[in-house]
Amino acid sequence: MTETQYDLVIIGSGPSGEGAAMNAAKAGRKVAVIDMRQRVGGNCTHQGTIPSKALRHAVHQVMQFNRNPMFRHISEQKWLSYSQVRETAQRVIDKQVAMRARFYSRNGIDLYYGVASFVDNHSIQVDQGDEQADVLTSKEFIIATGSRPWRPPAVDFSHPRIFDSDTILNSTETPRHIVIYGAGVIGSEYASIFNGLGCKVDLINPGGRLLAFMDDEISDALSYHLRGHGVLVRHNETFQSVEAFDDHVVLALESGKKIKADAFMWANGRSGNTDTLNLEAVGLEANRRGQLEVDEHYRTSVENIYAAGDVVGWPSLASAAYDQGRSASGVIVQNNTYRHINDVPTGIYTIPEISSVGQTEGELTDAKVPYEVGKAYFKDIARAQITGEDVGVLKLLFHRETLELLGIHCFGDQAAEILHIGQAIMAQKNGGNTIRYFIEHTFNYPTMAEAYRVAALNGLNRIF
């Protein structure tokens, strides 16, 4: 057993761990990163954001081919299997791992692969198996271990027809009919993916509407679109049990309904990866969801131990996790890179995408803010007509008196990209945040950015 001294040890090589490590290394600190896998990238690269979005893109391409009449001169409609689109995801994962490994090497960061567990406040053991272990001592630690799907004990996830959002990536079959329990971000994304592969999909929602944290109109648009493509959405249904057989599964709901399908996917809740860290040794305790409580500087109740990313809960987005990790290490190295993470944009990669930033109509109404709405429907945008991606809407919420942009909500192809134009305007100070920007500046034509000009004019016409 060897012992090595560091200035900072980070547990986890996902976005938050990487952001923290790069920032500290560039500040001249001696940094080590520990990961349970033998490859860097964390859950984001191997089981979460990257593979699911790569799957989604591949499926979307198939859908574009099948619905474009121009391609009928070449071939009839084609359908790919789930295992075929998985190959695309694996190629992206391999590229991401190679790129991120270069980052660590170039910045002189030591990598350790194994299970990390605290010995005390200043040392941690890395168990590499076969009775091999390293002990790393450090002034500070950052826990960036991410999260995993929460698994109710009553569900047999060892059965080959029962999946969660991690194990679904290993499936080799394309189910004719899949039931997904949980209609949050993950459940809605996978409902789109399997629907795009030609599967029959039942999406079971414990709540009253899809993605309840989103603007009502945008959430309703997704629900309408999924139903229009054959997804059966069942709201206000509570899980009772699932029984798996050799050739099918049967989901039982508290309402008395029973649904027979080829496969079942649980997509309801996530847990922080803290159970193997031996937190008791340093006086830390995770909550019932395995998450750690931190202050505004990402410090836990133990002065020299910080945490960032999914393991601290909200907003549980890869984009925010990177900034959180960078900010946590910024506090440690004091290089003025700390910032409070607020107004995080949301990107949901259903087909079509959803993205938003700022306040919703419901929030503004509750706060009694005098707002107005400007909309641009994709069906009226020349670029969307050219690409054939004409389903969607850009919705701007702005103050009736000051014209300050208060919220941006977009449903449609490339929504997560389109959103950033408005996000940049919202961040302007000294009166720079106004929807007049969109009519006082010229946009390339034809582009999807033109939707901002159309929406701004639509909104201004309501008040002038």
Length, in residues, of the chain: 464
Parallel, antiparallel or unpaired: strands 405-412 and 392-399: antiparallel
**DSSP letters along 194-231, please?**
HHHTT-EEEEE-SSSSTTTTS-HHHHHHHHHHHHHTT-
Here the tokens at position 330 are: 């910024």
Instruction: Going residue by residue through the chain, which has 464 residues, state the pLDDT in tens, using 9 for 90 and above.
Output: 678 999 999 999 999 999 999 999 999 999 999 999 999 999 999 999 999 999 999 999 989 888 888 887 788 887 888 888 888 889 999 999 999 999 999 999 999 999 999 999 999 999 988 778 899 999 999 999 999 999 999 999 999 999 999 999 989 889 999 999 999 999 999 999 999 999 999 999 999 999 999 999 999 999 999 999 999 999 999 999 999 999 999 999 999 999 999 999 999 999 999 999 999 999 999 999 999 999 999 999 999 999 999 999 989 999 999 999 999 999 999 999 998 887 899 999 999 999 999 999 999 999 999 999 999 999 999 999 999 999 999 999 999 999 999 999 999 999 999 999 999 999 999 999 999 999 999 999 999 999 999 999 999 999 97
Instruction: Give the closest residue to 449 by CA, choosing from 403, 404, 408, 402.
Output: 408
Here the tokens at position 322 are: 């990177």
Backbone angles phi, psi at 388, to 5 degrees: 85, 5
The domains of the chain, with CATH numbers, are 2-149+271-333 (3.50.50.60), 162-268 (3.50.50.60), 352-460 (3.30.390.30)
**Alpha helices, DSSP H, located in 121-269:** 185-196, 216-228
